[in-house]
């Protein structure tokens, strides 16, 4: 029998499959479809200090082999999540939860993370540094090594829980950003977030999205995500959650071979709400074909041949 268990910075997961933030909400809708306890974990929707209505419509556009979204971090705010969503998550899922945290200043990141320190079920904080730094002209924290390191160090100084920094691919050298986060004390990394893209309506000759640009996700980004996971695995010695275009158990295994210790599944959940369930069910057979009795042995194996 294949052992699907993995560990993320000391947090044990029954398997490496994690629904990605932004595609799984806080688990309510998916909990009506299947038992969420089959999951290794799940990363809840990116949560900011204050409620956010998100960007104006339209904010979703289909693309070949993927989709664009410009949702704009719509969420009910941290206090509402703590009072309403956290108790409901505990009823739906008994495993460790990953809390995706957004922020528009270093202080906001720190304050949001502090509020999660005493929530027992939140085992890992996934700090989304793809947010714009309002105190630095709007440039994303994750686009600048110094800014990424500043957020990492500030959050690590404030809390005891493992901190995974979620990295944007919209940079010239993601390994440089990864090293900055690792040097600042990050316990792990999650990559990649979405790639910046756009579509134009031929009839109106205007951008399809009201926001003009959006984040590209889905199978089209998988080769890019895979390459970035490979590069970051070579650059740092902390665990990586691989994310970007994963749609099958074979994709998950490939991501782990590139260096991921666990794998997040994003846009596939929107196309097929049972995607994570199917991937988990298919993983043992894939591992058997690869001769892996323990799935954790796949992590980084492609670097060792």
Domain assignment of residue 62, yes or no: no
Domain assignment of residue 251, yes or no: yes
Domain assignment of residue 133, yes or no: yes
CA distance 253 to 279: 10
**Total Cβ atoms within 10 A of residue 79:** 13
DSSP codes, 16-76: SEEEPTTSSTTSHHHHTTS-GGGSS--BPPPB-SS-B--SPSP-EEEETTEEEE-----B-
Pair of tokens at residue 204? 């109106």
- The values of phi and psi at residue 99, to 5°, are -100, 115
Domain assignment of residue 209, yes or no: no
CA distance 135 to 195: 23
CA distance 83 to 303: 45
Domain assignment of residue 199, yes or no: no
- The values of phi and psi at residue 61, to 5°, are -140, 135
Domain assignment of residue 61, yes or no: no
Domain assignment of residue 278, yes or no: yes
- The values of phi and psi at residue 251, to 5°, are -60, -45
pLDDT at 136: 63
Tell whether the model's pLDDT for residue 190 goes beyond 70.
Answer: yes
CATH at residue 182: 3.20.20.70
pLDDT in tens, 92-144: 999 999 999 999 999 999 999 999 999 999 999 999 998 766 566 667 899 99
Boundaries of domain holding 139: 6-54+72-194+216-303
pLDDT in tens, 26-60: 999 999 999 999 999 999 999 999 999 999 999 99
User: How many folded domains does the chain comprise?
Assistant: 1
As annotated, the active-site residues are 131
Distance from chain centroid for Cα 36: 18
Q: What is the torsional sign of CA 53, 34, 83, 112? A: negative
CA distance 27 to 36: 8
Q: Give the CA-trace dihedral at 260, 170, 193, 127, to 10 degrees.
A: 90
Domain assignment of residue 65, yes or no: no
187 or 305, greater pLDDT: 187
């Amino acid at each position: 029998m294949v052992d699907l268990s993995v560990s993320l910075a000391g947090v044990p997961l029954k398997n490496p499959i994690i629904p990605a933030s932004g595609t799984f909400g806080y688990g309510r809708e998916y909990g009506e479809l299947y038992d969420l306890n089959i999951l290794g974990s799940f990363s809840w929707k990116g949560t900011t200090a204050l409620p956010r209505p998100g960007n104006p419509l339209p904010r979703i556009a289909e693309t070949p082999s993927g989709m664009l979204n410009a949702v704009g971090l719509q969420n009910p705010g941290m206090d509402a999540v703590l009072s309403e969503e956290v108790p409901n998550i505990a009823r739906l899922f008994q495993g460790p939860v990953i809390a995706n945290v957004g922020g528009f200043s270093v202080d906001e990141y720190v304050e949001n993370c502090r509020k999660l320190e005493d929530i027992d079920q939140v085992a890992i904080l996934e700090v989304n540094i793809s947010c714009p730094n309002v105190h630095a002209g709007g440039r994303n924290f994750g686009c600048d090594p110094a800014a990424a390191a500043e957020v990492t160090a500030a959050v690590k100084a404030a809390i005891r829980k493992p901190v995974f920094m979620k990295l944007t691919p919209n940079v010239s050298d993601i390994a440089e950003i990864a090293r900055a986060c690792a040097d600042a004390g990050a316990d792990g990394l999650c990559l990649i977030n979405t790639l910046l893209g756009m579509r134009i309506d031929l009839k109106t000759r205007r951008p399809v999205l009201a926001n003009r640009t959006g984040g590209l996700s889905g199978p089209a980004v998988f080769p890019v995500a895979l390459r970035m996971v490979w590069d970051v695995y070579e650059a740092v010695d902390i665990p990586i959650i691989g994310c970007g275009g994963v749609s099958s158990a074979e994709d998950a295994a490939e991501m782990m071979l590139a260096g991921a210790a666990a794998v997040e599944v994003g846009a596939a959940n929107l196309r097929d709400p049972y995607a994570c369930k199917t991937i988990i069910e298919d993983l043992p057979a894939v591992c058997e074909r690869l001769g892996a009795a323990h799935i954790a042995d796949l992590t980084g194996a492609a670097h060792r041949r």
